[in-house]
Homo-oligomer: A and B are copies of this chain.
Amino acid sequence: MTRPDLAQKRADLKLQIREAAIKEFAEHGLAGTSTQGIADRAGITKNKLHYHIESKEELYQQALDHVLTIWAEMFSGIDLNQGPEIFLADYIARKIRFSLTHPAEVKMFTGEVMRGAPFLREHWAGSRDVTHAAAAQIQKWVADGSIRPVDPMLLQFNIWAMTEAYAVLGPELRFMLDLDEGAALDEDAICAEVTALVVRGLRPDRETARA
């Protein structure tokens, strides 16, 4: 009989709690979520939950941090120094994959933003830098004629909107497509559509020859 390894067991429980918390927070927000609900979802008692966490707010903060962390990991190793087409296709594919594999995480994030991001603002300083760096790169592409002139911030925002919507508005899309609630969406088809829309939407007016 394998020894469950105490530290491992505790880590497992923590993960279990966090997963349950993310799902509850995604559905009901911070205010609407009860610790009882999280405990139920995690399959433990409320007392046990409160023994392992400090407070509901703390758990919310931690869960949010975790979401941002794994979200960021999804983009490690992406290469900005490519042509816009390859980069955008890669970026969009990763964003969509994340939305489809981690819908609760994206929903929790979106809920936070919708409420004015009271717990998120501190984390956003870094994101803003990244976003502005990306904007600069986009400007370069505009300057060298590889894409048409665009507002680089709004372009990024539009891409976020489309890719994240496959998590946030998933129920609506599934309904329109006559799929049932848990049904998987066609990742390849979605990636193809979004990528095509963006890449073609950015083509310069006249295909000026690139060296």
A interface residues with partner B (beta carbon < 8 Å): 26-33, 107, 110-111, 113-117, 121, 124, 127-128, 131-132, 148, 150-151, 153-155, 157-158, 160-162, 164-165, 168-169, 171-173, 175-177, 181, 189-190, 193-194, 196-198, 200-203
Interface SS of chain A: helix, strand, loop or mixed? helix
25 pairs, A vs B, C-beta closer than 8 Å: A26-B114, A27-B114, A28-B115, A110-B114, A110-B168, A110-B169, A111-B111, A113-B171, A121-B175, A124-B175, A150-B193, A150-B196, A151-B189, A153-B173, A153-B176, A154-B189, A154-B193, A155-B193, A157-B165, A157-B176, A160-B169, A161-B169, A197-B197, A200-B200, A201-B201
Residue of B nearest to A192 (CB): B151
Contacts of A124 in B (CB 8 A): 172, 175-176
Number of copies: 2
Minimum Cβ distance to chain B for residue A140 (Å): 19
A171 touches B117 (CB 8 A): yes
A171 touches B116 (CB 8 A): yes
B177 touches A153 (CB 8 A): yes
6 closest cross-chain pairs (CB), A and B: A32-B32, A161-B165, A201-B201, A31-B32, A197-B201, A154-B193
Residue of B nearest to A167 (CB): B114
14 additional A-B residue pairs with CB within 8 Å, beyond A31-B32, A124-B175: A26-B114, A32-B32, A113-B171, A114-B171, A117-B175, A154-B190, A157-B169, A157-B172, A158-B165, A161-B162, A161-B164, A165-B165, A200-B201, A201-B201
